[in-house]
Amino acid sequence: MNLLSRWVLFFAVILSGCATDSALQKSAPASPPAPQATTAAAAAPVPGPLTPLGQGQPQSDAIALLSLPQDLWDRIRRGYAMPDLSTELVTDREQWYAARPDYILRMTERSRKYLFYIVEELERRKMPTELALLPFIESAFNPQAVSTARAMGMWQFMPATGKDFDLKQNVFRDDRRDIQASTRAALDYLQRLYNLFGDWHLALAAYNWGEGNVGKAIARNQKAGLAATYTDLNMPMETRFYVPKLQAVKNIVARPKSFNVKLPDIPNHPYFQSVPLPRDMDVTVAAKLADISLEDFKALNPSAHRPVLFAAGTPQILLPWDNAETFQRNYEAFGSGRLASWTAWVAPSNLKVAEAARRAGMSEDEFRTLNNIPPRMLIKAGSALLVPRHARMEEDVDGQVADNGQLSLAPEMTLRRVVVKAGKKDTLESLSQKHRVTVAQLIEWNELGSQSKLQTGQSVVLFLAQAASGNKKGSGGKKKESVQKAQAAPKTERLAKR
């Protein structure tokens, strides 16, 4: 193509704004050296004054627009930067996924709400974009997923690890489920592991198995004079399959036709944006103001596991891109209507559930269900509880409670140490029946043998149930006297009687 032809073609592109010329497409680089964040402004117009997620500068160069991927899967492929793993386990997982097209479709459809945001964050950090596929392995992109080991959320954080990465876990919300907070924590953790081991496969193994375990496995191999790469380490079966699973999904995304897989179309455009939550608000009210279903609202705001959102603890909510302005407009038109039906109440002292429910004006069953309190438990002082918000109550929940509220429980009954004197006809069996304990317990409490016989006047220790609040009403004076004498009696006296 001569110089004149190129200039003609350049001006044609400027005027038409399209990228249909095959010659230009062929001349675009197939694999950009460093993936750059695609801005929301370049992908679509911003609907109103709300600030979208995925900030960046809009592209002004028409030629640069030609290289932008129009599909999110293509954008992910362009940012692949991890070394490929080629093992029998990878082939095994490829076949497993390819044989389950319905499962792949469910996972990928679920991912469309979150994938753009994750890719934006990876590109902003200059991290490999195949890490955006990791939630397929961790949770099948289900932010409500909970493992048997209590790992939670899309990125499957354990409680302790979540706290290490500033993921709030309180009675009103769990940030391990939060889309933005958990993604930030996961990428922080993965980058830290990569910096520690200098290898993405080892970093992924450590994300699954723990950095301490991977470090020990490397040290064992080095001590034995063996190689210490991912494939050389002795690991649990789950970790051994972990990277091959990600590699298999990566290969399927790279070449879906080769595996007879159809990936759903996911546009290269943000699905959601962040909107300020101005007041405490019921989840149902927030969904209604945004004109979306309750299911869709919870899918974007899964950390809120209560029927109300407290603005002091959850200052932002996520809404579909086209519904953010709707929410803002409807909120401004809402007027002085009631936004929240619930508020937080801090227990002033240890309380039985029935008493706390009475103070809240609720039935005990309703109160237990709302606050997830199991049977036979006592509410400890300082616990934050959800209770109805009265119509005259105008103040929202303060930040200390909304951000740090915890529910502390204790068994309703505790054991009280009591000492009784054995009568002339008392045996272990008769005392066990009289005080509703077992013979085995009497033997253990009194360090007796299985064939021991009680002597008249012998002190026998029992542990009997009493209210956890420490109320000793109903205890007879003789029993109190016996306890005092028993506590004063030296242990050697009881051993001598044996």
Residues assigned a catalytic role:
138
C-alpha to C-alpha distances, 423 to 384, 458, 459, 460, nearest whole angstrom:
49, 8, 10, 10
Q: Are 106 and 131 in contact (CB under 8 A)?
A: no
For residue 150, is it left (φ>0), alpha (ψ between -120 and 50) or beta? left
Residue among 300, 295, 323 at smallest CA distance from 141:
300
Element housing 42 (H / E): helix 40-43
Q: Are 313 and 406 in contact (CB under 8 A)?
A: no
The CA distance from 269 to 321, in Å, is 9
For residue 474, is it left (φ>0), alpha (ψ between -120 and 50) or beta? left
Residue among 208, 309, 324 at smallest CA distance from 270:
324
**∠213-214-215 over CA atoms, to 5°?**
90
For 122, half-sphere exposure in the C-beta direction (CA atoms, 13 angstrom radius) is 26
What phi and psi, each to the nearest 5 degrees, are found at residue 297? -65, -45
